[in-house]
Structure 1
């Protein structure tokens, strides 16, 4: 189930968005639980830790939406936020707090559906999926979010995890097909990398969040950069 929070002090707008979420869930077969908050303080006090996705009005009484997202980002960098605004120029400032997108009032369902589909991809990417890995000591169910990268070495396929590693037989190419939609990119013949764990890209290669540096082949550099740009934009 996806936990979605709407923060909107205008009751009519909040009701409209809630109805749009219900319609979207019905049409797309999504399991979404929605909570509506009339102020940013209410979200920060009650639901910010649980929310998987936030629709945030910018112009709110008390703490405005921009400041609320700054506070959320101090604790959580992963939750996608879509700003609701009557002024499009606020969008530029929104990207400074890593907002996924924005919608301009009055919100039409077609526009909402487009933004929501993009947001759901981002949420599913953050949640990740699970894969089954067969190693010498049995079967392991591994969440993709816990895989930093896969490496082929001496005919072994090594899963480098956030906690340890697993070795199995297989090829990177086989797993690439399975993990393409889970936010992984093939940066050379040896490595398949989870882009959620990339912290920087330098001339030396991809720098992961544990300090590991993985080389990017010349042939795959452009495609790797393009894939990472799409990932950061929430398009995959």
Structure 2
């Protein structure tokens, strides 16, 4: 788990670091009955990086951070504006605002922060936010695939992917927020999606569809929220069977 603290106050940073170390130390002692096996593995591995201002962070940000503790009052670009810049190209990273001024905290919800901590905060207050952040992290790790972009490795949540186009060695992930094109292959994509095979199905030579986004079918065309995808004759039967199983499974039948 990659954690970043953006704060120019050494005392506040020391407090945040102490709470983070305490959280992981205590959870590492939990038994398998308290955490599932994947969470137990992840909870023992984390990295912690500190930036004293948001501008330096934005300059070096590669989209691979899992959790940010972001002070609202910073030198240079203020914390809420830093978060707005982050959200332009990363909708998944978890953000927790920290501030000494309670009246500024509400601004954080405009950028989908999971909450705020009023400094100096207690370990109990911190733990509430950390448990929520870790739960989101565990879910993301379980349901995400890593793709290599020009800026490094990026985790894409499979629930955000509507469909995937493969043309020669270019793969385009069409998500709810953006289209991401990377250098890859159909074989590599199928390997990445292997654990999610019940959600994605290949409907023609070049396209895989997330069954969760199918809105209807017209003749040989699959209707998605943002696209109309043709099915090939040889894959039509398998697609219909997969869609029926998916619909029954998710309707509780």
Rg larger for: 2
Fold shared by both chains (TM-score > 0.5): yes
Partner of 1:228: none
Partner of 1:138: none
Q: Alpha-carbon deviation of 1:93?
A: 1.3
CA offsets 1:86-118 (integer angstroms, 9 cap, x no match)? 122223211111111111111111110111000
Q: Alpha-carbon deviation of 1:158?
A: 5.1
Counterpart selection for 2:92 from 65, 78, 81: 78
- Aligned partners of 2:19 and 2:123 also within 8 Å: yes
Q: Alpha-carbon deviation of 1:208?
A: 7.1
Q: How does 1:64-213 map to 2 (within 5 A)?
A: 64-129=78-143, 145-146=157-158, 159-160=199-200, 164=208, 210=226
- Name the CA shift for 1:49/1:159 in 2 (closer, same or farther; >3 Å): closer
Other structure's SS at 1:60 match: coil
Report the count of equivalent residues.
Answer: 160
CA distance in structure 2 between the aligned counterparts of 1:18 and 1:158, rounded to whole angstroms: 40
RMSD (Å), alpha carbons: 3.5
- Aligned partners of 1:39 and 1:62 also within 8 Å: yes
Correspondence 1:55 to 2:99: no
* TM-score normalised by structure 2 residue count: 0.54
Q: Alpha-carbon deviation of 1:159?
A: 2.9
CA distance in structure 1 between the aligned counterparts of 2:66 and 2:58, rounded to whole angstroms: 14
* Structure 1 segments unaligned to the other structure (5+ residues): 131-142, 150-156, 167-190, 199-206, 222-236
* Structure 2 segments unaligned to the other structure (5+ residues): 29-42, 145-154, 163-196, 215-222, 229-242
- Name the CA shift for 1:15/1:145 in 2 (closer, same or farther; >3 Å): same
Q: Alpha-carbon deviation of 1:77?
A: 0.9
CA offsets 1:33-83 (integer angstroms, 9 cap, x no match)? 110111111211224522111000000011110110011111111111000
* TM-score normalised by structure 1 residue count: 0.58
Give the 4+ runs in structure 1 shifted more than 6 A.
none
Correspondence 1:36 to 2:36: no
CA distance in structure 2 between the aligned counterparts of 1:10 and 1:144, rounded to whole angstroms: 33
CA distance in structure 2 between the aligned counterparts of 1:87 and 1:52, rounded to whole angstroms: 25
Other structure's SS at 2:121 match: coil
